[in-house]
């Protein structure tokens, strides 16, 4: 059995009384399927689509990304540089998202899947009477290539 996400898997989440599967939304989703693991900005998606010959406006890309994020099809990330980036949301409903490693020199974004914070979450929930449903952790530092340059 394959774990590969298909466009049909994702468009199923768009079906319903409030959302349509527009051609624009479908091609935006295809960009993420064709670029697995990438953290793409709206401008990145727009450039990829224009490079492929699609005539789609940047505002349409922004609206599509926000809707797909609101529907949890995409995960929206803000790494503190003023640029939102998106990636396919592959986590199950009961699992945490992966964490990110950001190189402060070259800007490379890597993923770290191990979740080592379960005990900390339990402690916080007990002490604060706050039900935690998820968390995001971002580590900043230097990737191996940038470390070698120094």
Same domain for 100 and 131, yes or no, is yes
Question: Is 39 a known ligand-binding residue?
Answer: no
| pLDDT for the residue numbered 43 | 95
| pLDDT for the residue numbered 105 | 83
| pLDDT for the residue numbered 48 | 96
pLDDT < 70 regions, the chain? 1-18, 91-98, 113, 115
| pLDDT for the residue numbered 2 | 41
| pLDDT for the residue numbered 47 | 97
Same domain for 102 and 147, yes or no, is yes
Sequence-ordered alpha helix ranges (H) in the chain: 7-12, 23-34, 42-51, 58-70, 118-128, 144-149
CATH number at residue 150: 3.30.1490.190
Same domain for 68 and 6, yes or no, is yes
Question: Is 135 a known ligand-binding residue?
Answer: yes
Question: Is 83 a known ligand-binding residue?
Answer: no
Please give the tally of structural domains in the chain.
Answer: 2
């Amino acid at each position: 059995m394959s774990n590969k996400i298909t466009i049909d898997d994702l468009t199923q989440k768009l079906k319903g009384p409030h959302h349509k599967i527009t051609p624009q939304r479908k091609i935006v989703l295809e960009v993420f399927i064709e670029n697995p693991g990438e953290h793409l900005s709206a401008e990145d998606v727009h450039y990829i689509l224009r490079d492929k010959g699609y005539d789609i406006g940047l505002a349409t890309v922004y609206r599509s990304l926000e809707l797909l994020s609101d529907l949890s099809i995409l995960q929206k990330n803000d790494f503190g540089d003023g640029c939102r980036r998106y990636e396919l949301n592959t986590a199950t409903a009961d699992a945490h998202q992966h964490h990110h490693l950001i190189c402060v020199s070259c800007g490379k974004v890597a993923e770290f899947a191990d979740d080592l914070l379960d005990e900390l979450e339990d402690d916080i929930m007990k002490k604060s009477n706050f039900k935690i449903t998820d968390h995001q952790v971002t580590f900043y530092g230097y990737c191996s290539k940038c470390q070698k340059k120094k």
